[in-house]
Amino acid sequence: MTQPGIASAAFARQQAAILAQALPYIRKYHGKTMVIKYGGNAMTDPALQAAFAEDVVLLKLVGINPVVVHGGGPQIEAALKRLGKQGHFIQGMRVTDAETMEVVEWVLAGEVQQDIVGLIHQAGGRAVGLTGRDGGLIRARKLRLPDSKDPAVVHDVGQVGEIVQIDPGVVQALQDDRFIPVVSPIGFGENNESYNINADVVAARLATVLEAEKLLMLTNIPGVLDRNGALLPELTAQQIEALCEDGTISGGMIPKIAGALDAARSGVNAVHIIDGRVPHAMLLEVLSDQAFGTMIRCA
């Protein structure tokens, strides 16, 4: 039988090794911005929610500047069902009529955003919730969605927006004041109308504008998978195009991958799609030599 003192010493050495391994990464990323797209199971499982908030607070405490952009698809779907309304998607985009837009706004900017802010506060951090209206953060216009097979056909997806401009001033001001920004993907148009914008697209564009060191996209899967279900640890633009053409990448993964690739092409140093179902996967990705998920490269 192992003596208690010996077991305690072995555990202490293991913990010390983990902390020592994190030091070079803390030094490397100190003062850098990381944009985190928060979605999937990590948003609905209480234990994963708590782990996510702890990770974000720890990154802030060691001198890294996390910016959270959240989704909320399951919560929106549940709210629509309570109203007797069925959600409808075209090429991964939620069709958003005026009534659905109202639901999107109160679910994302109310329920979901405030839950995240509260979890970060509970974990010892200080967070502030934002929508695209705050500080003129996200200006948008109506998205006209070309059909993936016939570009001559354009789908009307309602009050779904594409980004015209991101003004990062309010996010940077919060970062400088030691707050963690939590952004809901809602933009506003030239006539003050609201637009539902894909959260992956917002995260990617915000990472570009903020010149982020990393973009981390939490999902419900281990990363991008091939047709046999095997993880693809790295993807280039050419490989992504081929996977889209043969249908391996489809549905909701299309805007996620497109946003990740745009960010990589625009100068974000590292773009990772990681499994949000693994507790502390984000922390392990940032502060250890363990690689999780799929890294997107522009070439």
Half-sphere exposure of 116 (CA within 13 A, CB side): 31
Written as one letter, the residue type at 231 is L
Q: Give how far Cα 267 sits from Cα of 138, 215, 264, Å.
A: 20, 11, 6
Q: In a 10 Å sphere around its CB, with 0-12 CB exposed, 13-18 middle and 19+ buried, how is residue 53 labelled?
A: buried
196 has binding-site annotation: yes
Q: In what order do the strands lie in the sheet with 65-70?
A: 127-130, 180-183, 65-70, 33-38, 214-219, 270-275, 294-296, 234-235
Q: Position of tokens 């933009």?
A: 187
Which one-letter amino acid corresponds to residue 255? P
The reply, when asked if residue 169 is annotated as ligand binding, is no
For residues 232 and 290, give the distance between their C-alpha atoms in angstroms, rounded to a whole number: 15
Rg (CA), the chain: 20
Q: Which two tokens stand for residue 231?
A: 């993880």
Structure tokens at 196: 């539902």
Binding residues are: 72-73, 94, 196
Binding residues for substrate are: 72-73, 94, 196
